[in-house]
């Protein structure tokens, strides 16, 4: 399931992110790429040793954690490996798949990838996130403060930036439910039961769906 959410951060948080990043120390993005991704990764990233990095990471994580749609659809267990990326003219990230395991001393799975867009689409040309599904390539260039979540199993790329600067936050999530199709089933059931509750209250139909959702979650969660 591919999910986009508008305004997942507040205007104040967006301003804090963009103003801090505009003054930040950036290093070659290849330092955090896998051995094969280094061949196609051409961007820069905020130095993880910078004092502002942890503050910005916590800001984004807290914004995700307070969003109900994110919690229902993704079933997050760990949000990890956040990176603040900058793409300037002629920079791109060629076709690649994300590492299955990430982290330092403690490894986390990458079940779901996300890109939080910080720059106005009109401020740069090119730079689309391209998700390569078997049937077609999907292009995304979202408004600042909007985010896209997608399965980490997909090949994807960032198109070349022709003019301007593209700032984004990228990160990964280890879900309680590692299988994409099972996460979608749980999300669909939860959506329907919440709709029934809003219309009818705690009905027999709601109780049956709530039981089914709980039992599937109990069976599938890791």
Residue 85, C-beta contacts closer than 8 angstroms, at least 6 positions apart: 29, 43, 44, 45, 46, 167, 168, 169, 170
Using alpha carbons, list the distances in angstroms from residue 43 to 54, 78, 104, 107.
21, 26, 22, 24
Annotated ligand binding at 166? The verdict is yes
> What is the pLDDT at residue 96?
95
Domain extents for the chain?
3-175, 180-220
Are the beta carbons of 191 and 69 closer than 8 angstroms?
A: no
Residue 94, C-beta contacts closer than 8 angstroms, at least 6 positions apart: 39, 40, 41, 157
> What is the pLDDT at residue 35?
80
Phi, psi of 56 (to 5 degrees): -70, -40
Sheet holding 147-151, edge to edge: 3-5, 147-151, 112-117, 166-175, 76-87, 44-46, 26-28
Q: Rounded to an integer, what distance in angstroms lies between the CA atom of residue 218 and that of residue 164?
A: 48
79-134 pLDDT tens trace: 999 999 999 999 999 999 999 999 877 899 999 999 999 999 999 999 999 999 99
Annotated ligand binding at 188? The verdict is no
Angle at which helices 11-22 and 52-65 pack, to 10 degrees? 160
> What is the pLDDT at residue 108?
97
Residue (of 194, 190, 206, 154) closest to 75 by Cα position: 190
Q: Which residues of the chain have pLDDT under 50?
A: none
> What is the pLDDT at residue 167?
98
Annotated ligand binding at 42? The verdict is no
> What is the pLDDT at residue 37?
82
For the segment(s) 3-175, the CATH number from 1.20.1270.10, 2.60.120.620, 1.10.10.10, 3.10.180.10 is 2.60.120.620
Annotated ligand binding at 98? The verdict is yes
Q: Environment class of residue 154 by beta-carbon count within 10 Å: exposed (0-12), middle (13-18) or buried (19+)?
A: middle
Q: How many CA atoms are closer than 13 Å to the CA of 128, on its beta-carbon side?
A: 9
> What is the pLDDT at residue 33?
76
> What is the pLDDT at residue 162?
98
């Amino acid at each position: 399931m591919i999910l986009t959410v508008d305004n997942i951060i507040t205007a104040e948080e967006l301003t804090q992110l963009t103003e801090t990043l505009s003054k930040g120390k950036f290093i070659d993005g290849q330092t955090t790429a896998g051995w094969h991704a280094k061949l196609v990764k051409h961007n820069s990233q905020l130095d993880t040793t910078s004092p502002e990095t942890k503050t910005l990471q916590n800001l984004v994580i807290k914004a995700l954690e307070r969003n109900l749609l994110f919690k229902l659809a993704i079933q997050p267990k760990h949000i990890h490996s956040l990176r603040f990326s900058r793409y300037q003219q002629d920079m791109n990230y060629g076709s690649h798949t994300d590492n299955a395991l990430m982290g330092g001393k403690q490894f986390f799975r990458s079940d779901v990838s996300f890109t939080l867009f910080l720059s106005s689409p009109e401020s740069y040309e090119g730079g689309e996130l391209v998700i390569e599904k078997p049937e077609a390539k999907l292009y995304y260039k979202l408004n600042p403060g909007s985010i896209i979540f997608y399965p980490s199993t997909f090949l994807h790329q960032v198109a070349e930036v022709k003019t301007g600067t593209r700032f984004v936050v990228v990160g990964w999530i280890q879900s309680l439910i590692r299988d994409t199709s099972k996460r979608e089933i749980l999300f669909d059931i939860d959506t329907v039961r919440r709709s029934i509750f809003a219309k009818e209250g705690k009905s027999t139909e709601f109780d049956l769906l709530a039981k089914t959702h709980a039992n599937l979650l109990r069976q599938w969660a890791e």
